[in-house]
Amino acid sequence: MFDKIRVVLVNTSHPGNIGGAARAMKNMGLRQLVLVDPQRFPDPDATSRASGADDVLANARVVATLEEALADCVLVLGTSARDRRIPWPVVDPREAADKVLDQLEGPAAGPIALVFGREDSGLTSDELQRCQFHVHIPSDPAFSSLNLATAVQVLAYELRMQSLQRQGQPTKMHKIETTALDNEVPATAEQMEQFYAHLEQVLVEIGFLDPQHPRKLMPRLRRLYGRIHPNLVEMNILRGILTETQKAIGVQASGARRR
Amino acid sequence: MFDKIRVVLVNTSHPGNIGGAARAMKNMGLRQLVLVDPQRFPDPDATSRASGADDVLANARVVATLEEALADCVLVLGTSARDRRIPWPVVDPREAADKVLDQLEGPAAGPIALVFGREDSGLTSDELQRCQFHVHIPSDPAFSSLNLATAVQVLAYELRMQSLQRQGQPTKMHKIETTALDNEVPATAEQMEQFYAHLEQVLVEIGFLDPQHPRKLMPRLRRLYGRIHPNLVEMNILRGILTETQKAIGVQASGARRR
C-alpha cells in the first residue's frame, strides 16, 4: 500500500542523511526514495548509515529538479520548519499521515510525495508553493531544526501508526493487557478474597499483623494488590508463597490457627 | 515540565548516536540525558551530531550502572524491539507518552526514565525487567531495528505531541483551517453564486462555453470551486481575473452581454 508514497529529498548535503532517511523509511515500510540534485550520491557514508536499507538506496531515483520528482503526483506535502509570509494549509505529522491515507484509500489513489528540504535551509518558498500542504513537526521553537533522517523517521512513523490503527492492526508486538500478564484470565473477586484471607492469616502467624491493633494494614494491602489485579497464574504464585511461608514457620496450612 | 523526564542510553557504541539523541531530545524540549557506561564519551562525533544541543551533552550525567541511573525514578519505560520470552506490559510510543504524562500530572510526580539499549543488541533481559513498561515502536517486522537517535526522536516527538494536545496548545505553527487561507472568512453561498454567474458569462464571452451545448461544464466547475471553498480575498482575486479577462477581450464589464 505504501508503494505509492515517495520520499523526496531536495539537494541534500550530507550523504549520511540520505542513508539515515533510507533506513528510517524501510523501518516503517516505505521504499520509494527520490533524490533531487543530491550533493554527494552514491557515497559510502550513505551506505553505512543505511545499515541494511541498501535496497532502498539502490532503487533510489536521482533527478535534476523537484518538478521532475513531483510530475505524476496527486498529493504533495512539504516539510517546513519556519514561519512563512504566505499563509498555507499546515498540518502536523499525524494530520499529514491522515491526508496521505485518505488519498490512498480514495477512488483516485495516485503517487504521493513527502518532500524534505536541505539540512541548513529547508525548502525554498517556490518549492513550498508546489506543495498542497506544509507539514510542521511540533518542535521546540527555541531549537526547532530536526536532523533530516529523524524528520523522515517521524513522518514515516506516523504513516505506519495511523495505517495500523485504521486497519485494526496492533501497534506493538504483543497485545497484552497491562493488567493481565501471561495472557491469563484475571483473578475473580472471590479468588481475591480468598487470597486476602490467606494473606491476613499468614501476617498474623508471622507476627506482623496484630489482630487487636490492625492499623489499617489490610486495607492498604488490598489497595496495593487491587491495583496489580493479578491473573490466575500470578495468584497461584502468591498463594504458593503464603503456603510455603506457613510451612517454613511450622504452621499447618489447614487454617487451624485462623482467627 | 519535562525536567522530570530523563533519557537513559545504555552502553552506547557510537558517540554520533549520543549526539543525535541529544539533538532529538532538545528539539522536543527534553534536557536530561544519562549515559550508562558509554563506550566513547565525550567525543567529537557526539558534539558534531548534536548540532547545537551541546548544552544537553555538557550536562549529561555519566554513570557506571543502569541501577544508578534509575535509583530515584518512579516510572521506568524501556524500549524493546524484539520478542521476549517473558510477557510484559507493552505500550506503543503514544501510549508510552500518555503513561509518562499521567505520572507527571499525578500527585506523586517524580523522575521518569526512558531507557534505550545498545545499537546492536538493545537491552538485556535483566535490564528490561527493571522497566515497568516496554515500549515497542511499530516498525516493519522485516526490518525492525531503528537507529538509536531516531528511536529517541520518535518517543520525544510523541511526548511533545501528547503534551501539547493535553494543554490545548497547537501542534503546528499556524492554526489555519485548510479551507480558509489568509485567515479570512470564507465566501458566502450568495457570493459563490455571483462568482459562478460571472464565470459563466466570461466563458461564453471567450467562446469556451456554448450556451446551446453547455456539456455539464458549469456543474463541473461548481464542483471544483466548491471543493476549494475560497475565502473573500481569494474570491476578489478570482472576480478580478474575470473582469480583467473581459477587459482584455474588449467587453464592457457592465454585464451588457449577459444572457
DSSP states along A127-187: HHTT-SEEE-----GGG----HHHHHHHHHHHHHHHHHHHTT--SSS----TTSGGGPPBP
Closest alpha carbon to A175 in B89, B207, B132: B89
Q: Does A102 touch chain B (CB under 8 A)?
A: no
Which residue matches cell numbers 534505550?
B116
Q: Cis peptide leading into A42, omega within 30 of 0?
A: yes
What are the CA-CA distances from residue B67 to residues A184, B32, B37, B72, B180 (Å)? 30, 17, 12, 10, 54
Q: Does A138 touch chain B (CB under 8 A)?
A: yes
Partner-chain contact B29 A137, CB within 8 Å: no
Partner-chain contact B157 A140, CB within 8 Å: no
Rounded (5°) CA angle A174-A179-A185 = 85
The contacts of residue B258 (CB under 8 Å, 6+ apart) are: B197, B201
Name chain A contacts of B164, Cβ cutoff 8 Å.
Answer: 138
Task: Report how far residue A78's alpha carbon sits from residue A15's, in angstroms, rounded to the nearest whole number.
Answer: 20
CA Rg value for chain A = 29
Map out the domains of chain B with their CATH numbers.
Answer: 2-166 (3.40.1280.10), 181-248 (1.10.8.590)
CA distance B247 to chain A (A): 29
Name chain B contacts of A129, Cβ cutoff 8 Å.
Answer: none
Grid cell, residue A180, equals 493481565
Type of residue found at A79: T
The contacts of residue B174 (CB under 8 Å, 6+ apart) are: A83, A87, A88, A90, A136
Grid cell, residue B114, equals 526512558
Q: Are strands B61-63 and A90-91 parallel, antiparallel or unpaired?
A: unpaired
pLDDT in 10s for each residue of chain A, 259 residues: 799 999 999 999 999 999 999 999 999 999 999 999 999 999 999 999 999 999 999 999 999 999 999 998 888 999 987 665 567 888 999 999 999 999 999 877 789 999 999 999 999 988 988 888 899 999 999 999 999 999 999 999 999 999 999 998 888 765 444 444 444 566 777 788 899 999 999 889 888 889 998 877 888 788 777 767 677 777 888 888 888 888 888 875 444 444 3
Q: Which of B153, B160, B183 should one mutate to test binding to chain A, selecting the residue with the greatest count of A CBs within 10 A?
A: B153
Q: Does B230 touch chain A (CB under 8 A)?
A: no
Instruction: Kindly identify which residue of chain B lies nearest to residue A173, measuring between CA atoms.
Output: B136
Q: How many CA atoms lie within 13 A of B140 on its CB side?
A: 16
Grid cell, residue A122, equals 529547508
Q: Which stretches of chain A are assigned E, i.e. beta strand?
A: 5-10, 32-36, 61-63, 75-79, 90-91, 112-116, 133-135
Q: What are phi and psi of A90, to 5 degrees?
A: -115, 135
Name chain A contacts of B95, Cβ cutoff 8 Å.
Answer: 172
Q: Which of B163, B171, B184 should one mutate to test binding to chain A, selecting the residue with the greatest count of A CBs within 10 A?
A: B171
The greatest distance separating any two alpha carbons of chain B, rounded to the nearest whole angstrom, comes to 88
The contacts of residue A247 (CB under 8 Å, 6+ apart) are: A253
Q: Is B93 helix (H, G, I), strand (E, B) or coil?
A: helix
The contacts of residue A253 (CB under 8 Å, 6+ apart) are: A243, A246, A247
The contacts of residue B107 (CB under 8 Å, 6+ apart) are: none
Q: What are phi and psi of B175, to 5 degrees?
A: -105, 85
**Per residue in A114-147, is it b (16+ CB within 10 Å) or e — as a string?**
bbbbbbeebbeeebbebbebbbbbbbeeebebbb
CA distance A149 to chain B (A): 7
CA distance A55 to chain B (A): 12
Partner-chain contact A87 B178, CB within 8 Å: no
Partner-chain contact A24 B138, CB within 8 Å: no
Q: Does A93 touch chain B (CB under 8 A)?
A: yes
CA distance A63 to chain B (A): 27
Instruction: Kindly identify which residue of chain A lies nearest to residue B24, measuring between CA atoms.
Output: A146
pLDDT in 10s for each residue of chain B, 259 residues: 799 999 999 999 999 999 999 999 999 999 999 999 999 999 999 999 999 999 999 999 999 999 999 998 889 999 987 665 567 888 999 999 999 999 999 877 789 999 999 999 999 988 988 888 899 999 999 999 999 999 999 999 999 999 999 998 888 765 444 444 444 566 777 788 899 999 999 889 888 889 998 877 888 788 777 767 677 777 888 888 888 888 888 875 444 444 4
